[in-house]
């Protein structure tokens, strides 16, 4: 069968959640023996392709073809891709990022990553929030199948839109496993507290780490409050490291950072290498996000052998199970207490690392790509 994929997100830089998902699914589809019996068309905007140079850092097999579509205006999916599909439809269309073109083959599959805009409407411009709602309703009505990245996202689609449960397949994200090759005990010895400095970021150990967008719905304000408690009540020696691009409510967050009397390192967006080094040397990864469609940063931390404190809401318990300390993300005392417990109790700290390594065995991009292909090709 001829399978068309909107691959535009896969070549965007820097890659964050949905971009990483699109990239990894395409990359691992190229490796699947089951994919060899199909031909894949990767639809890409010509302008983005010109900026990217070589679009992928992996080779495409003969059954994968790039379809370059010229366009320099907004709404590439709804205007340019849709106009192409009007004249030339594939047997199957896969949309990895939410928006199904108005013109599409009957056999279309759309991935929906989360409904943050329903829980935090204030974080989105009115026009964009309405566009997302209309696009979600349209996809639920017109796509043959919806891929939800978690059971939580599936239930949200049913809750907010009355979605047909039988139409939704849950396919979890994967995690890059190359960073999980160091055995936990060896990692603990290698990343001990005697190491004074992270060579790339110049962050002195020990430190607590958050990686993700610096915005209100990620509960950065809650992290800052918990850190204040950790410094004042528990007298921990740790600095706090926040890595990620600014998002909604950043001005309020920045003011609180500047107003703090404790050391807070705000790094902005970090490269993949820098991220891995930060993770490898952190004592605790803090992720009390108020809502997640999946929660990939938690798994990335676990692959690096970092114990995790994370929220007990949305998809996080589904992703971590008992391998992280689950807390009420609105309870700053509880966040601080969980972090201090991991710092203070080495046996518990090490046990959680072991549980994290066990947990990540449930997730892989190969599994994600294989299950995605099954959804695409099922009759």
For the segment 149-164, what is each residue's pLDDT rounded down to a tens digit?
A: 999 999 999 999 999 9
pTM: 0.90
Is residue 88 located within the same domain as residue 230? no
Sign of CA dihedral 258, 331, 239, 354: negative
Q: How many CB atoms lie within 10 A of CB 26?
A: 24
For residue 2, how far is the Cα from the chain centroid? Answer: 28
Residues 140 and 215 placed together within one structural domain of the fold? no
Q: Which residues contact 7 (CB under 8 A, 6 or more apart)?
A: 22, 26, 42, 43, 44, 55, 66, 96
Q: How far apart are CA 69 and CA 84, in angstroms?
A: 8
Range of the domain at 44: 2-174+364-377
Distance between CA atoms of residues 47 and 179, nearest Å: 34
What three-state secondary structure class fits 234?
coil
Question: What sign does the CA torsion over 338, 339, 343, 349 have?
Answer: positive
In whole angstroms, give the CA distance from residue 295 to residue 329.
Answer: 14
Rounded to whole angstroms, the Cα distance separating 102 from 83 reads 9
Identify the pLDDT of residue 55: 79
Q: CB–CB of 360/324 below 8 Å? A: no
Statement to judge: residues 104 and 240 lie in one domain: no
Q: Are 140 and 170 in a shared domain?
A: yes
316 and 208 together in one domain: yes
pLDDT tens digits, 103-134: 999 999 999 999 999 999 998 999 999 999 99
Burial of 150 (0-12, 13-18, 19+ CB in 10 A): buried
Q: What does the pLDDT read at residue 185?
A: 45
Pair (145, 28) in one structural domain: yes
Q: pLDDT, tens digit, for every residue of 207-241?
A: 999 999 999 999 999 999 999 999 999 999 999 99
54 pLDDT more than 50:
yes
Provide the token pair at 357.
Answer: 């390594």
* Pair 32, 144 in one domain: yes
Is the domain of 91 the same as that of 123? yes
- b/e burial code for range 297-313 (CB count within 10 A of at least 16 → b): bbbbbbbbbbbbbbbbb
User: How far apart, in whole angstroms, are the C-alpha atoms of residue 112 and residue 326?
Assistant: 25
65 and 183 assigned to the same domain:
no
Does residue 185 sit in the same domain as residue 321? Answer: yes
CATH number at residue 50: 3.40.50.2000
- Residues 126 and 269 both lie in one domain: no
Q: Please check whether residues 295 and 314 belong to one and the same domain.
A: yes
What is the count of structural domains for the chain? Answer: 2
Q: Which long-range contacts (CB under 8 A, 24 or more apart) does 74-81 make?
A: 76/8, 76/45, 77/6, 77/8, 77/101, 78/102, 80/45, 81/6, 81/43
Residue 302 near residue 326 (C-beta atoms within 8 A)? no
């Amino acid at each position: 069968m001829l399978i068309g994929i909107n691959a535009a997100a896969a070549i965007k830089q820097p890659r964050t959640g949905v971009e990483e998902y699109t990239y990894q699914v395409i990359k691992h589809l190229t490796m699947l023996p089951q994919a060899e019996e199909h031909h894949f068309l990767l639809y890409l905007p010509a302008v983005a392709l010109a900026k990217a140079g070589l679009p992928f850092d992996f080779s495409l097999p003969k059954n994968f073809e790039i379809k370059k579509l010229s366009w320099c205006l907004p709404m590439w999916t709804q205007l340019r891709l849709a106009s192409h599909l009007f004249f030339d439809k594939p047997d199957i269309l896969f949309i990895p990022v939410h928006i199904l073109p108005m013109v599409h083959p009957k056999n279309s599959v759309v991935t929906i990553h989360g409904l943050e805009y329903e829980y935090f409407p204030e974080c989105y411009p009115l026009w964009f929030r309405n566009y997302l709602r209309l696009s979600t309703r349209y996809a639920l009505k017109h796509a043959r199948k919806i891929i939800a990245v978690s059971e939580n996202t599936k239930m949200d689609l049913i809750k907010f839109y009355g979605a047909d449960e039988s139409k939704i397949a849950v396919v979890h994200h994967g995690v890059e496993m190359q960073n999980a090759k160091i055995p936990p005990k060896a990692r603990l010895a290698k990343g001990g507290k005697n190491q004074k400095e992270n060579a790339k970021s110049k962050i002195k150990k020990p430190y607590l780490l958050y990686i993700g967008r610096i915005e209100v719905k990620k509960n950065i304000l809650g992290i800052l409050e918990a850190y204040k408690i950790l410094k004042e009540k528990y007298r921990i020696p740790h600095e706090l490291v926040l890595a990620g691009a600014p998002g909604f409510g950043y001005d309020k967050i920045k003011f609180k950072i500047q107003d703090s009397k404790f050391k807070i390192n705000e790094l902005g967006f970090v490269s993949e290498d820098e991220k891995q080094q930060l993770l490898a040397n952190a004592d605790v990864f803090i992720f009390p996000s108020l809502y997640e469609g999946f929660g990939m940063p938690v798994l990335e931390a676990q692959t690096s052998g970092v114990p995790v404190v994370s929220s007990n809401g949305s998809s996080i318990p589904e992703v971590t199970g008992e391998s992280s300390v689950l807390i009420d993300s609105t309870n700053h005392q509880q966040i601080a207490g969980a972090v201090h417990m991991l710092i203070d109790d080495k046996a518990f700290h090490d046990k959680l690392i072991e549980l994290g390594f066990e947990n990540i065995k449930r997730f892989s991009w190969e599994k994600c790509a294989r299950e995605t292909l099954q959804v695409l090709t099922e009759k």
